Amino acid sequence: MIRAYLIFLLLFYFSFSGTNSYCQWVNQSSNTVYHLQDIHFVDDSIGLVCGVYGTVLKTINAGNEWIDVSVGVGAGLFSVFAIDEDTIYAARSSLYKSVNGGATWVDVGGLGSNASSIFDLEFLSARTGVLTKSAKVYRSDDYGNSWSEVYDGSFIRELQFIDDSLGFAYGGFSLEQINRGRMLKTIDGGITWDSIYGSETLDFTACHFIDRDTGFLFTYPDGIYGTVNGGDEWTEVNSNLPLGQVMDCAFVTHQIGYALGYDGNIYKTIDGAINWSLDYGGSGDPLLSLFLTESSAYVTGRDGKILKNDGFITQIKNLETEEERINIYPNPASGKINISAEVNKTMNLQIHNISGQLLYTEQITGDLHEIDLSQHDNGVYFYTLTDKQSLIKRGKIIIVKSQE
């Protein structure tokens, strides 16, 4: 029954879209021709990129200028992460740390004795970090000075932490028509990891969680999968992916997302990964990394390419403002709930049970509405509010009737 609901909910969420306004991607002057592998921003202004020949570039003005703060090693760097403007980490087989904004670097952590690459790196606080190396996951609790192996498995490359407790790690490989993929989950800040999803036919190439529950997974040779319960169940959203191999992805809402193609193009969806349109036409060289700040999107690629996009923010803020003006209370409720909608439009309310069965539907136009669910059993129910074009708000309603 749970799986039936998940399939229903994913299809419902991903069937609505907003207005597709073109967003301009602008080339930034990186002053390098080296390939740029990874990007990370501390806030809207301070960001770092890393690449081949130990290249590290830094901006303190939202990408308008990039200055060279390279490590000074011959190896290419795969991952960069900054705690603040001064404390920066960059990695390949070794982990390098700067505490003065990139002016000087030191090799920390004792990881260089193993020549395998560090593919990804995140710090949950100034003290606690997690990284992937040689398909294993390591954790540090002393500012990166020492690392302990916390997971030994296969295929793991990339990390994403939603907060300082909940995180995901994933990866895979493709070799001579053999594809494998695996995803892990932690709920204790990377101390322990559980395998939650795997494939013997697909490589997991890119993944992004919008929140604790909702995520999208790109696979190779094709297919996009979605989850609405924190990765416990995955449902195929798109089985005929026209993008080719996806190098990275990021979603700014449940509907709007971006994907970087190996073909050097940027693709955009406005309907939850079902359909994709070309948002930037590249030169054919792969784009490698995508990062979203509160106000901008950044992309890095080969030959020193850095792209910036500010255009989607207005659209996202409009959606968020509209959602904030809708309140549903009390929740939990004993049976009757109120919907206060300070929105000047007609919306369609639907309420489903956990099996996906439609229990209630009504047209709502602002003001205050009372809904009576007292005839239904105790449990969790799901509501959606939509207009003609888009999903406005969704969530859970919990019914707990008093015992007589």
pLDDT digits (tens, 9 = 90+) for 346-387: 888 889 887 778 899 988 876 788 899 989 988 888 888 887
Q: Which CATH architecture has domain 23-318?
A: 7 Propeller (2.130)
pLDDT tens digits, residue range 23-54? 589 999 999 999 999 999 999 999 999 999 99
Distances (CA, A) of 396 to 9, 328, 329, 363: 12, 10, 11, 19
pLDDT tens digits, residue range 66-116? 999 999 998 899 999 999 999 999 999 999 999 999 999 999 999 977 779
C-beta atoms surrounding 159 within 10 Å: 23
- Rounded CA separation 236/217 (Å): 9
Q: Does 335 or 322 have the greater pLDDT score?
A: 335
Token match 């690459």: residue?
Answer: 117
Query: Which positions ≥6 away from 50 have C-beta within 8 Å?
Result: 36, 37, 38, 56, 57, 77, 78, 79, 80, 90
pLDDT at 199 (0 to 100): 92
Residue ranges per structural domain of the chain = 23-318, 326-399
Confidence grade of residue 12 (pLDDT, cut at 50, 70, 90): very low
Token match 């982990």: residue?
Answer: 95
pLDDT above 90 (res 186): yes
Q: Does 390 or 345 have the greater pLDDT score?
A: 345
The strands making up 136-140's β-sheet, listed across from edge to edge, are: 118-123, 129-133, 136-140, 148-152
pLDDT at 233 (0 to 100): 86
E strand or H helix that includes residue 286: none
287 torsion bin: left (phi>0), alpha (psi -120 to 50), beta (else): beta
- Rounded CA separation 324/33 (Å): 45
Calculate the average pLDDT of the chain: 86
**Domain covering 326-399, topology:** Immunoglobulin-like (2.60.40)
pLDDT above 60 (res 16): no
- Rounded CA separation 339/368 (Å): 6
pLDDT at 316 (0 to 100): 62
- Rounded CA separation 380/356 (Å): 12
pLDDT at 21 (0 to 100): 41
pLDDT above 80 (res 264): yes
Q: Quick check: bond before 221 cis, omega within 30?
A: yes
Token match 């990695």: residue?
Answer: 91
E strand or H helix that includes residue 106: strand 106-108
C-beta atoms surrounding 101 within 10 Å: 18
pLDDT tens digits, residue range 133-175? 988 999 999 999 999 999 998 789 999 999 999 999 999 988 8
